[in-house]
């Protein structure tokens, strides 16, 4: 199995032509893209790529097809920016916060309520009272 190096990917003409368009991806997706580019250039086999990425050959084939068709966007997850299916609905969250504030006043401190509404700033001692 040939190791995937940044130099091998950067030397790829196809990679240089496609990278004119910036695509946001995780490091794992960037590694996946680098391996798939090597498969497309035939410097790595599909079985070797499957072993390198810890997936099956059946999963490599659609990835190769997607990268050939869409370029780097083909290696990026289609779930980016899509809310989770397990997310609690906003009306339910608001009812829960209202219930907590009315039944447990200690939970109604300003910094705690702000964290329930999505603010992830760390509370300050002076605000906690």
CA dihedral 57, 61, 63, 65 (to 10 degrees): 170
Ranges of each domain in the chain: 6-75, 90-128
pLDDT tens for 9-25 read: 555 545 555 455 677 88
- Do 18 and 37 meet the contact criterion of CB atoms below 8 Å apart? no
Specify the pTM: 0.54
Give a three-class secondary structure readout of 3-21.
CCCHHHHHCCHHHHHHCCC
pLDDT tens for 28-38 read: 888 999 999 99
């Amino acid at each position: 199995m040939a190791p995937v190096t940044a130099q091998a990917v950067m030397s790829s003409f196809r990679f240089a032509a496609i990278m004119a368009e910036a695509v946001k991806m995780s490091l794992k997706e960037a590694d996946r893209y680098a391996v798939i580019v090597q498969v497309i250039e035939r410097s790595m086999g599909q079985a070797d790529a499957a072993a390198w990425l810890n997936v099956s050959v059946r999963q490599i084939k659609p990835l190769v097809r997607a990268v050939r068709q869409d370029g780097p966007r083909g290696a990026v997850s289609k779930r980016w920016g899509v809310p989770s299916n397990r997310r609690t609905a906003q009306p339910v969250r608001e009812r829960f916060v209202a219930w907590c504030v009315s039944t447990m006043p200690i939970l109604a401190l300003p910094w705690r309520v702000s964290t329930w509404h999505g603010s992830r700033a760390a509370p300050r001692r002076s605000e906690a009272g």
